[in-house]
Chain A
């Protein structure tokens, strides 16, 4: 089994808000992330796929194909967008780094055949990242 990781970046806006809570409660829990005008990050996404090396090509997955999948399934919808307002997964789910990583896993996992999606690592900023293994 070989693991291959591809890194891409996207920039997006978001805010954290639970509509079931008062403004005070949102402020208490989410702090400055609760500003309803939004704020943004440069996200770094690392997608790791696992598989066997193809005897003919020597590839686990065609990197160009992986790049196209990442662009089509994730970047085209997420890059330079407002996650709360423009990405359907976050119409009713708070776009925390945790939830974004899970949403990216769900978008990618059926497209990587014959490799398998192993890990989604999403950096919100250099000192904070989330890993999701689909468990």
Chain B
């Protein structure tokens, strides 16, 4: 028996979408107001989905407190109230939410979580969301 559990988190960060290899006009055309030199920010909602069997003694897939602690330590502490462009993660990568989603999945896939990481999903705004389950995700 396999159950998928999803937990939702919030972090706030700023970014600017700008590719230095492109000219000013091309950046303007590609990124529009997201290219504003001073940056702008979002409240990002992050959903982390883990899976596993239900432990009979607890009725749970995993200890939620342990999952929360791991996500706080690895993701929220790292990204919350930061300028994403200033972080090591995005020195050579444009901090679009696509790239942010991939980075978050990479980080979480390399740390000890209390259950198997299936996928992550980030809402940049209420209208845009991005999901990543690794390079070779299993069908669902």
Contacts and interface: CB of A to CB of B under 8 A. Distances in A.
A101 B1 CA distance: 12
Given A95-B59, A96-B59, A98-B61, A130 B6 contact: yes
Contacts of A101: 3
Contacts, number: 59
Q: How many A residues touch the partner, as a band?
A: 20 to 34
Contacts of B61: 98, 130
Interface string A4-22: 0000000000001010110
B57 A128 contact: no
Contact of B8 (A20, A126, A130): A126
Contacts of B60: 96, 98
B131 to A, nearest CB: 13
A128 B8 CA distance: 6
A77 interface: no
Interface string B53-91: 010011111011100000000000000000000000000
Interface of A: 16, 18, 20-21, 29-31, 93-99, 101-102, 126-133, 135
